[in-house]
Amino acid sequence: MIAPALLGWYDRHARVLPWRVAPAARAAGVMPDPYRVWLSEIMLQQTTVAAAAPYFDRFTALWPRVEDLAAALDAQVMAEWAGLGYYARARNLLACARAVAADGGRFPTSEDGLRALPGIGPYTAAAIAAIAFDRPAVVVDGNVERVMARFHAEATPLPAAKRRLTALAAGHTPTDRPGDYAQAVMDLGATICTPRRPACGICPVMEPCAARREGLAEQLPAKAPKTPKPVRQGTAYLACDPSGRIFLERRPNRGLLGGMLGLPGTEWSEDPPAPALPFAADWTVAGQVRHTFTHFHLLLTVEVARVATAPGFVPPKPDTLPTVMRKAVLMGLDALDNQT
């Protein structure tokens, strides 16, 4: 069991995070707010702490309780989420907030109860159960997988090793302070047992670590070769009126970037897509935006035109748009400025 050494280290070196209750405060009986724990865990999916923190601060300032978020307008929440990516998370965030608010604003305390809520999978349920309610749940993210692979010198490549690493993590999860322990392992992976150049010399569990003894720390966890991502193509159309406003439309709720504002355009496909002009205008090519999603690379051609104003034209606010649309808008506006 690495828990005693790790908890002692965490008591001294825990990261200060806006959603976290410090170990000393927790020892004094201060429990985390389940709403803040849940919100942080949803934001941290596929996102770094540095990227998520300012979003967390804005969300909790606008909507300090789950009931406040549940009552928010969909469009406002989606706009505040812009830039975090994976927009299905924002839709599930609202659905979950409304489900919890309908049940009196109380989050379930068990993993099974949490998994019944929209957008909460096995990892997130375990993290909330452990951190918010001190349940001895087995919390396994990428940091924990790396710590377990190195501590036990597990050479099976990921993702095949996931089940084995989860079993190893379960063997170390204590019944005393499981919430602090879960955060301690994640902190260890984020600050010491890092993907490259782990700081083994200051690790609180360096002595029993098998990978350190065998000189394998930087080689683990092993990963299966990645398959190349496909490349898709598409076209986005930026129309600008005489007052500098641009035409935007809301994407369908389902699918990639669902429910978000964006430029009209074609489908994104591996074959060149057929044109899908939103209306007749003198369209010219401004350039091409490159953007990478989880499962594919996108080459998005941006076409621009100056047109008379009409409904749907709004002042350009790139910061409220998904990243790929932000890139397209900025490229298009630059091209129009260069035409004048």
Mean pLDDT by runs of 10 across the 340 residues of the chain is 93 95 93 96 90 95 97 90 82 95 95 96 96 96 96 94 96 95 96 95 95 93 90 95 90 80 92 91 94 92 90 83 91 86
pLDDT, one tens digit per residue, over 240-270 is 999 889 999 988 877 788 878 899 999 999 9
End-to-end, the C-alpha distance of the chain in Å comes to: 68
Single pTM value for the model: 0.78
> Is residue 41 annotated as a catalytic residue, yes or no?
yes
Which of 41, 111, 145, 154 is the catalytic position? 41
Burial, 201: exposed, middle or buried (Cβ in 10 Å; 0-12, 13-18, 19+)? exposed
Distance CA 81, CA 259 (A): 11
In DSSP terms, 304 is beta-bridged to 238, 284
**208, 140, 186: which is closest to 2 by C-alpha?**
208
The full length of the chain comes to 340
pLDDT, one tens digit per residue, over 21-57 is 999 999 999 999 999 999 999 999 878 899 999 999 9
